[in-house]
Amino acid sequence: MAGLSLKHICKIYPNGFQAVRDFNLEIEEPEFVVLTGPAGCGKTTLLKVIAGLEEATSGKVLVDGQDVTDADPRDRQLAMLFKNSTLYPGMTVYENMAFALRMARMPQSEIDERVTEASELLGLSGILSAMPETLSEMDERRVLLGRAIVRRPKVLLMDSVLSGISVKPLVKFQKLYEKLGIIIVYVTSDPAEAMALGTRVVAMESGCVRQAGTPKELYENPSCSYVASFFGTHAPNLFIVTPEAENGRARIRFQDGELLLPEAISRRLFDGGYIGNSVAMGIRPEHICPAGEAADLSENGVFDCKLQDIEMSSDGVFWKFGTEENGFEVKAGEAAAEIGDTLRLAVDVDRIILFDRETKRAI
């Protein structure tokens, strides 16, 4: 069974720039792990360190328990695909997929077996005789994947190879790790792509891991305001609030309403000494809705606000409230509204996220 271990990886360039800082990750079984974050956060550099294309300043890379930190890229039992990877011109799909195996002087019968297996897995059986210039972009990416997996690597590294593909086909690619029984480490700057592909997602910033977990964990329980803002179609609305004690619970006043916080959240505020001190409260646009659509019809978290603007996007309709400096947005539901209307809104109090204003970490 494949395994990949990254221990205290650091990469510092000669000019002093530290691209990767004390990066640790353990992958013990077949999995689709996505490294994501903004451009320049160190994710591609880390991928190159794993592949042996960049030398780590410190730390270790282990594949199946074997230290390959100083091994030649060809000896790491890895395959890597870059976004700008291309097929060999003048060769058919079959010849492209078989090329590395022929260079390794593998018997023709085994080459045929591996190419057939990979082509059936990727849906390429009907185009093995096609030339690269006749392929669609999707088919070309499938062939590139096929060319990599016929080598039967223990770890497949991919740098933004699937960018631009809609979510539905992405889900099919995500299942490859199960079918192949290998570890896939994928890099992307697109949070939506990361959430669609990853069984585990690693959020990076400035060369550091900010949080690693399932897409659901990163979305619902972000470790800091950076992670909360990076994931989701729209960043959370942020309010500066001061929690107050009320019969063992924490109450927050904001806009024209009040929130009596759930016991678990209240306990964290009490234990952390935040009662009476200002904190940042995050509420995603989809977690505020017209009061008439709220499942909880109590007055907790209900307030009135005047609709200032309406934004139409591919992610739906968003209502905008407040001023430009102190505004917030709501993902509109079924209710119709016009600019200037005063709407009664309800907050899902179980879905709010609180952050320390200084450290930016979740409370």
pLDDT attached to residue 83: 83
CA distances from 59 to 5, 11, 24, 46, 127 (A): 11, 9, 9, 12, 44
**Is the CB of residue 274 less than 8 Å from the CB of residue 245?**
no
How far apart, in whole angstroms, are the C-alpha atoms of residue 340 and residue 351?
Answer: 28
The domain spans of the chain are: 4-230, 237-355
- In the predicted model, residues of the chain with pLDDT beneath 50 are none
The string of pLDDT tens digits covering residues 260-289 is 999 999 999 999 999 999 999 999 999 998
The position carrying tokens 């005789």 is 129
> Six-digit token pair at 320?
């905008």
CATH topology of domain 4-230: Rossmann fold (3.40.50)
Identify the CA nearest to 162 among candidates 140, 178, 181, 180.
140
**Is the CB of residue 79 less than 8 Å from the CB of residue 157?**
yes
The position carrying tokens 């927050």 is 252
pTM above 0.95, yes or no: no
Identify the CA nearest to 124 among candidates 97, 103, 106.
97
> Six-digit token pair at 135?
């392929």
The string of pLDDT tens digits covering residues 228-244 is 999 987 889 999 999 99
